[in-house]
């Protein structure tokens, strides 16, 4: 099994070698699998249509052109083979997922990490969770064709119950930070599915790379607000770079504020993150803005912001547990008044990362 994730802060920083602060949640992908007696793998899903058929020994980039849900499964067979030079056994498997799709909580990384655990076990590879996360990113980048960073796979592979993960995406060092007991993590789903996300995502990544080149650094991790201001960047590149350097700073400050129990500062930083993603990075949308506004003024809300890549999906809110009922009803009625969309609030437990479940 492998979980989805929410990201508390540190958005669009991972492919700039920056900091992120996600947590694995109690919505997960579970796979029951056995070695196949015949050549070829057969994969079914309780939620998705069609039976995925591919050859674990020959699956390779370029085969995902039809964009089917089992591409992630075939892609992981390729990534593990590519890394280890060992053959992956064909499998018969059935998948069940409770990770919402299109809500920005990484249903695809959860599927990748569950497959990684499956082949790690069946092929006796004994690869570390961190390595499995890197192979998930390789699958995403080279097999699926989305140039994502490594946050989602790291959170799904290395999550710990009750803890968020402060990850330095350059060194892949992880520091576990307890989520205070009296706070609930609430996923505030706009019910607006993410749209056009992979092309806009890849475009943002290119803009960051162009910004780093113009600043003469290998990644925006090395840039500062002062160096971004001093360079003569075009207005779009300037705003993209400003988001990344200020978001890295917010992520560090958030860790400290959470640690010393400074709730006002936690809230301020989450709000500043949302505003930066909205105004400088331009990955929010009317529905995410309406949901964030609704959360900020609902009772018991410590902080809220959009989570994940953006362009639809969900906000994450940290909410006082004793105000959860009031928070949820005020949040959803304010959101519905604004959008007529009927959002949904899911309270999530912060869960363990990918592992063999039985
Ligand atoms: C997606 C990607 C991550 C990360 C976020 C934005 O979830 O998969 O690598 O870049 O978007 O923070």
Model confidence over 12-54: pLDDT tens digits? 999 999 999 999 999 999 999 999 999 999 999 999 999 999 9
DSSP label of 56: T
Task: Retrieve residue 53's tokens.
Answer: 């058929």
To the nearest whole percent, how much of the chain has pLDDT over 70? Answer: 99
Indicate which residue's Cα is closest to atom 5 of ligand 1. 309
| Beta-carbon count within 10 A of 206 CB | 12
In order of 79, 191, 242, 291, the CA distances from 272 in angstroms are: 37, 23, 12, 15
279 assigned to active site: no
Phi/psi of residue 129, each to 5°? -55, -40
Query: Which long-range contacts (C-beta less than 8 Å, at least 24 apart) are formed by 48-51?
Result: 48/95
State if pTM tops 0.75.
yes
Q: How far apart are CA 321 and CA 175, in angstroms?
A: 25
Q: Are the beta carbons of 136 and 160 closer than 8 angstroms?
A: no
Residue 64 has pLDDT above 80, yes or no: no
| Sequence-ordered list of residues with C-beta below 8 angstroms from that of 26, at least 6 positions apart, any chain | 3, 348, 349, 350, 351
Indicate which residue's Cα is closest to atom 1 of ligand 1. 309
Indicate which residue's Cα is closest to atom 2 of ligand 1. 148
Residue 293 has pLDDT above 60, yes or no: yes
Indicate which residue's Cα is closest to atom 9 of ligand 1. 149
Residues lining ligand 1, Cβ inside 6 A: 11-12, 14-15, 106, 148-149, 151-152, 308-309
DSSP 117-133: HHHHHHTT----HHHHH
The pLDDT of residue 65: 74
Residue 205 has pLDDT above 80, yes or no: yes
Q: Tell me what the pLDDT averaged over the chain comes to.
A: 96
Q: Are the beta carbons of 116 and 135 closer than 8 angstroms?
A: yes
The pLDDT of residue 269: 98
Atom of ligand 1 nearest to the CA of 150: 9
At 180 the three-state DSSP class reads: coil
Distance 150 CA to ligand 1 centre (A): 7
Atom of ligand 1 nearest to the CA of 13: 12
Annotated catalytic residue, options 71, 152, 280, 289: 152
β-pairing, 183-189 with 314-320? antiparallel
- pLDDT tens-digit profile of 121-178? 999 999 999 999 999 999 999 999 889 999 999 999 999 999 999 999 999 999 999 9
The pLDDT of residue 199: 86
Burial bucket for residue 231 (CB in 10 Å: 0-12, 13-18, 19+): middle
The pLDDT of residue 198: 78
The pLDDT of residue 67: 85
């Amino acid at each position: 099994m492998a979980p989805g994730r929410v990201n508390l802060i540190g958005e669009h920083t991972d492919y700039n070698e920056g900091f992120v602060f996600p947590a694995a949640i109690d919505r997960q992908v579970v796979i029951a699998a056995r070695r196949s007696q015949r050549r070829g793998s057969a994969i079914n899903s309780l939620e998705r249509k069609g039976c995925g058929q591919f050859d674990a020994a020959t699956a390779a980039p370029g085969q995902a052109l039809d964009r089917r849900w089992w591409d992630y499964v075939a892609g992981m067979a390729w990534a593990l083979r590519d890394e280890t030079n060992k053959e992956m056994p064909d499998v018969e498997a059935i998948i069940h997922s409770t990770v919402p799709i299109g809500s920005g909580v990484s249903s695809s990384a959860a599927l990748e990490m569950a497959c990684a655990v499956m082949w790690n076990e069946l092929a006796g590879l004994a690869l570390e969770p961190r390595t499995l996360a890197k192979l998930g990113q390789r699958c995403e980048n080279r097999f699926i064709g989305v140039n994502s960073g490594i946050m989602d796979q790291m959170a799904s592979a290395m999550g710990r119950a009750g803890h968020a993960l402060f990850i330095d995406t350059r060194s892949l060092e992880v520091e576990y930070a307890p989520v205070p007991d009296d706070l609930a993590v609430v996923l505030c789903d706009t019910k607006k599915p993410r749209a056009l996300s992979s092309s806009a995502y890849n475009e943002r990544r290119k803009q960051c790379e162009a910004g780093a080149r113009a600043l003469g650094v290998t990644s925006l991790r090395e840039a500062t607000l002062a160096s971004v201001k001093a360079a003569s960047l075009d207005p779009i590149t300037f705003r993209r770079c400003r988001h990344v350097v200020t978001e890295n700073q917010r992520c560090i400050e958030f860790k400290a504020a959470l640690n010393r129990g400074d709730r006002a500062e936690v809230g301020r930083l989450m709000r500043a993150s949302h505003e930066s993603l909205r105004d400088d990075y331009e990955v929010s949308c009317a529905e995410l803005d309406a949901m964030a506004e609704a959360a900020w003024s609902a009772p018991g809300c410590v902080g809220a912001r959009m989570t994940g890549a953006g362009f639809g999906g969900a906000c994450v809110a940290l909410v006082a547990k004793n105000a959860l009922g009031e928070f949820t009803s005020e949040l959803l009625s304010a959101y519905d008044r604004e959008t007529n969309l009927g959002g949904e609030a899911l309270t999530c437990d912060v869960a363990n990362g990918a592992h063999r479940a039985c």
